[in-house]
Amino acid sequence: MRRGLRAFTLIELILAVGISSIVLIAANAVFFTAMRLRESTTRALDESLPIQQAIEILRRDLAGAMTPSANGILSGDFKVGGVSSVGLAQPVDIELYTTTGVLRENEPWGEVQKVTYELQPPANNLTRGKDLIRSVTRNLLSTVTPQPENQWMMGGIESVAFSCFDGTNWYNTWDSTLTTNVPIAVRVRILPAAGGGSTGAPSPIEFLVPIDSVSRTNQSGGMDMSGN
């Protein structure tokens, strides 16, 4: 005679369902925690990418700065601090001629270009601070005033400052029409705007760029500049 098959009791089923629920809840919590961590990491990387790109472009422009020439062809002045730049309505923080122009077959311009940096109000009023704008003029031999091409670099900026080193002192302003030379180094200080609800002041972004250009003359007298 066959024995009857033993089935699960109700208590065993309840225990099995309970244990399975606990395992699923734990796995669900781990999964969503990993998803939130991934999203926050991606967001942090996306926010830091424009900053790193802006710093790299700034470094390249400053490192490639050209010294003024006597004839002024394909070169120009190096100015810092409230500069009235041709083609722009508002004063800019820095204007320089640099060898960072990309040579292309469809653009008959050389590698020398005029570059300016300035802070402008954001395109939308929803963001804090101002936008750092890079304006580029490629056609330096134009007989008419060329229109600069504006490039958005980064947003949420409270202030940007350029300090120039002449080998002895640091200056907040510079005008190569008075010094006939460019500084030997430039210090850039970018202060991010304070975040909403943030209790601490944001840390400034600072970096130093040496300039290897050597002018035909090293005269630096007769210049009225305010230093640090």
Per-residue confidence (pLDDT) for residue 2, from 0 to 100: 54
pLDDT in tens, 15-51: 888 888 888 888 888 877 877 776 666 665 555 567 8
Q: What percent of the chain has pLDDT over 70?
A: 78
Per-residue confidence (pLDDT) for residue 179, from 0 to 100: 75
Per-residue confidence (pLDDT) for residue 86, from 0 to 100: 81
Per-residue confidence (pLDDT) for residue 74, from 0 to 100: 61
CB 123 within 8 A of CB 132: no
Q: Higher-confidence residue: 86 or 64?
A: 64
**Which element (helix H / strand E) includes 164?**
strand 149-165
CB 99 within 8 A of CB 182: no
CA-based nearest residue to 101, from 90, 92, 110, 93? 110
The string of DSSP codes covering 87-112 is T-SS-EEEEEEES-PPPBTTB---S-
Average pLDDT over residues 162-186: 90
